[in-house]
């Protein structure tokens, strides 16, 4: 396949536009509601401080939203799920290699021109065992070599094994400029990218500040920061309470926030506040199967899965705004749509769960708790704080497990602490948090392969041979032919109770005095426009 021209669909216009709200603003006698606000400040709330925003250290959702303002990628993703130009204006796929043609105009935020050889250095850096980045397992999960030609303006990546999504995978890796690659410690809370904004300030636990890069003209499909309404400054504030976010939207203190709980009801009725729904997996139960953890025992996982009533859990987990999950992936457009869970997930049956536990030697006491050899059956469930419906769902999950005699310790954590538990300490038995990815091949890193200790994202230490075999076959197949294999692979996870999808829903972006567009789960920085 060869792309030599820009598509008609702009890379930034990836999903439906959020309409601008009305309202005043600007100088008296000159402002008109809905008209662009020149050189203003755009403020968006996130639920938690993501910690490091070095793009090669984390693929977490909050982290990605923050560093998307400062870093570009080679290609973007269109509304139909297909790749669209970004730093690369065209590309050519030949066998197991992809050659990207750069536009030649992109500069780093320190003024240095980005060269293909800089991108080559990035891709060598992220796969180096000494600096192994989670982006390798997430986006380029194959052995590869890279080369570049600064004169021709090309960068080439070649997979040592077939990988049908190499174009999209390599194209999604954030591109780091030489200054950041030379001194990674310098970009923990700063930036060294080619993106439309540059980080200028960080206050731990409070906010990030960005400043617009004037002269930026190489955004998706030629997006430019010279367009009227592009903010001069951006503030991303960390606010854990959704009611506080909603109050700030209504009062005009902020321009955007993602709100998933009960406050949506009043925001939907508030004049001047607009909403755009981003489809996601909302509720998901993931087990820690590492040696020495309780759920290393498949019998215990099967018992826990049988104790879970998804029909009751789904509405609670979505504040009555969602549906029962039927697929491992919900992000629109769903790469491989269809019902994957029916007939594959263990059915809700408390009696069966109790019978399995009895057979496994977990004795039930008069108070309903179970133990074996003097050790109580009590599991640690971690979840991210911020959304009240999440806490309610975890409480209900604890009650459902208790009905079968499984005790629980429910621990709410900030985003940074949650990620530390997943990828550093591994101190959990269940984590309740959905894994949302753009493509099925990205899910393989979370449900198989290397653990965080070895540079991977398989925090549950899942070892499912059938899933890994089918995933490998699907990854090698052309993207348009892989879906039946991906579906079978996901069903193998469900059969073994490695993961339990609970609910689908929306993670709405609400805006006030601003418009924006989204791709997948994230706001597209080059699409933001402030209005009067």
Q: Cβ neighbours of residue 363 under 8 Å, at least 6 residues apart?
A: 370, 371, 372
Report how far apart, in Å, the C-alpha atoms of 202 and of each of 6, 66, 129, 164 are: 36, 12, 30, 40
Look up the CATH superfamily of 279-506.
Dipeptide-binding Protein; Domain 3 (3.10.105.10)
Q: Give the burial class of 402: count Cβ atoms within 10 A of its Cβ; 0-12 exposed, 13-18 middle, 19 or more buried.
A: middle
8 A C-beta contact, residue 446 and residue 457: yes
- pLDDT of res. 166: 94
C-alpha–C-alpha distance, residues 11 and 175, integer Å: 17
Instruction: Label each residue of 158-223 as H, E or C.
Output: EECCCCCCHHHHHHCCCCCCHHHHHCHHHHCCCCCCCCCEEEEEEECCCEEEEEECCCCCCCHHHC
Architecture field, domain 72-181: Alpha-Beta Complex (3.90)
531 DSSP assignment: B
Block residue for tokens 């980080």? 199
Write out the chain's pLDDT in tens, 532 residues.
333 333 322 322 222 222 222 222 222 233 345 799 999 999 999 988 998 999 999 888 899 999 999 999 999 876 677 788 899 999 999 989 999 999 999 999 999 999 999 999 999 999 999 998 989 988 998 999 999 999 999 999 999 999 988 999 999 999 999 999 999 999 999 999 999 999 999 999 999 999 999 999 998 878 899 999 999 999 999 998 999 999 999 999 999 999 988 899 999 999 999 998 888 999 999 999 999 999 999 999 999 999 999 999 999 999 898 999 999 999 877 788 899 999 999 999 999 999 999 999 999 999 898 999 999 999 999 999 988 899 999 999 999 999 999 999 999 998 889 989 999 999 999 999 989 888 898 899 899 988 998 878 899 999 999 999 999 999 998 877 899 999 999 999 999 999 999 999 988 899 999 999 887 788 999 999 999 8
The predicted pLDDT at position 25 comes to: 28
Give the span between the Cα atoms of 157 and 147, in whole angstroms: 7
Is 421 within 8 Å of 413 (Cβ atoms)? yes
Residue 274 and residue 511 in contact, taking contact as beta carbons nearer than 8 Å: yes
Q: Is 510 helix (H, G, I), strand (E, B) or coil?
A: strand
What is the per-residue pLDDT for 200?
98
- Could you state, in order of their start, the residue ranges of all structural domains in the chain? 72-181, 279-506
Give the residue carrying structure tokens 């019902």.
339
3 state SS of 42: strand
Given a contact cutoff of 8 angstroms between Cβ atoms, the answer to whether 84 and 220 are in contact is yes
CB-CB neighbours of 19 under 10 Å: 13
What does the block give as tokens for 400? 């459902």
C-alpha distances (whole Å) from 306 to each of 54, 125, 379, 500 are 41, 44, 16, 11
The Cα 15–Cα 201 span in angstroms is 30
460: which DSSP letter? T
Query: What pLDDT score was predicted for residue 76?
Result: 83
3-class DSSP assignment, residue 443: helix
Tokens of 132: 């192994």
* Backbone φ and ψ of 216, nearest 5°: -75, 115
Main-chain phi, psi angles of 404, to 5 degrees? -95, 0
C-alpha neighbours within 13 Å on the C-beta side of residue 129: 2
Rounded to an integer, what distance in angstroms lies between the CA atom of residue 400 and that of residue 157?
49
What is the spatial distance between Cα 44 and Cα 23, in angstroms, rounded to a whole number? 18
Pairing relation of β-strands 207-212 and 233-238?
Answer: antiparallel
Q: How far, in Å, CA of 134 to CA of 217, rounded?
A: 30
Got the DSSP string for 300-357? HHHHHHHH--HHHHHHHHTTT--EE--SS--SSSPSS-S--STTTSPPP-HHHHHHHH
Residues 102 and 29: their CA atoms lie apart, in Å, by 46
Nearest-5° angle of CA 216, CA 332, CA 347?
A: 145
Q: Are 25 and 39 in contact (CB under 8 A)?
A: no
- Number of neighbours of residue 178 by Cβ within 10 angstroms: 17
Strands 233-238 and 41-46: parallel
| CA–CA gap between residue 161 and residue 144 (Å, rounded) | 8
Residues 396 and 383 sit within 8 Å (Cβ to Cβ): no
């Amino acid at each position: 396949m060869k792309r030599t021209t820009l598509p008609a669909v702009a890379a930034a216009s990836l999903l439906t536009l959020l309409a601008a709200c009305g309202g005043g603003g600007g100088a008296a006698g000159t402002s008109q509601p809905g008209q662009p606000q020149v050189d203003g400040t755009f403020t968006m709330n996130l639920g938690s401080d993501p910690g490091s925003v070095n793009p090669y250290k984390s693929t977490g959702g909050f982290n990605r939203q923050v560093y998307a303002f400062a870093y570009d990628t080679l290609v973007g993703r269109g509304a139909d799920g297909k790749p669209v130009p970004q730093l690369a204006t065209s590309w050519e796929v030949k066998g197991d290699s992809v050659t990207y043609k750069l536009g030649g105009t992109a500069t780093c935020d320190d003024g240095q021109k980005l060269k293909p050889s800089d991108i080559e250095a990035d891709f060598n850096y992220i796969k180096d065992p000494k600096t192994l980045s989670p982006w390798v397992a997430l986006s380029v999960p194959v052995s590869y070599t890279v080369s570049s030609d600064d004169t021709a303006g090309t960068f080439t990546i070649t997979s040592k094994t077939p990988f049908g999504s190499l174009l999209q995978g390599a194209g999604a890796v954030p591109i780091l400029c030489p200054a950041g690659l030379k001194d990674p410690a310098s970009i923990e809370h700063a930036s060294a990218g080619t993106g439309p904004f540059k980080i200028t300030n960080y206050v731990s636990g409070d906010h990030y500040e960005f400043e617009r890069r004037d002269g930026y003209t190489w955004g998706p499909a030629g997006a430019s920061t010279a367009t009227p309404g592009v903010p001069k400054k951006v503030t991303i504030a960390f606010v854990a309470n959704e009611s506080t976010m909603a109050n700030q939207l209504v009062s005009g203190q902020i321009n955007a926030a993602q709100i998933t709980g009960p406050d949506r009801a009043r925001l939907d009725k508030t004049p001047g506040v607009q909403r755009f729904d981003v489809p996601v997996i909302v509720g998901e139960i993931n087990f820690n199967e590492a040696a020495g953890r309780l759920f290393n025992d498949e019998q215990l996982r099967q018992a826990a899965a049988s104790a879970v009533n998804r029909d009751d859990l789904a509405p609670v987990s979505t504040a009555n705004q969602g549906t029962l999950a039927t697929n491992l992936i919900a992000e629109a457009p769903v790469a491989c749509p269809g019902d994957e869970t029916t007939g594959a997930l263990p059915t809700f049956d408390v009696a069966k769960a109790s019978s399995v536990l009895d057979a496994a030697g977990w004795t039930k006491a008069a108070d309903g708790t179970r133990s074996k050899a003097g050790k109580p059956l009590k599991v640690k469930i971690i979840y991210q704080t911020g959304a009240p419906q999440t806490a309610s769902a975890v409480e209900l999950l604890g009650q459902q497990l208790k009905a079968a005699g499984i005790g629980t310790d429910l621990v709410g954590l900030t985003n940074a602490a949650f990620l530390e538990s997943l990828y550093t300490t591994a101190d959990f038995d269940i984590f309740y948090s959905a894994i949302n990815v753009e493509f099925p091949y990205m899910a393989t890193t979370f449900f198989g392969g290397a653990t965080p200790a070895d540079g991977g994202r398989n925090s549950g230490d899942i070892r499912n041979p059938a899933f890994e075999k089918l995933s490998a076959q699907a990854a090698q197949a052309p993207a348009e032919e892989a879906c039946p294999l991906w579906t079978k692979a996901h069903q193998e996870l469900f059969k073994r109770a490695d993961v339990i999808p609970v609910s689908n829903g929306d993670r709405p972006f609400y805006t006030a005095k601003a418009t924006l567009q989204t791709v997948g789960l994230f706001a597209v920085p080059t699409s933001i426009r402030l209005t009067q």
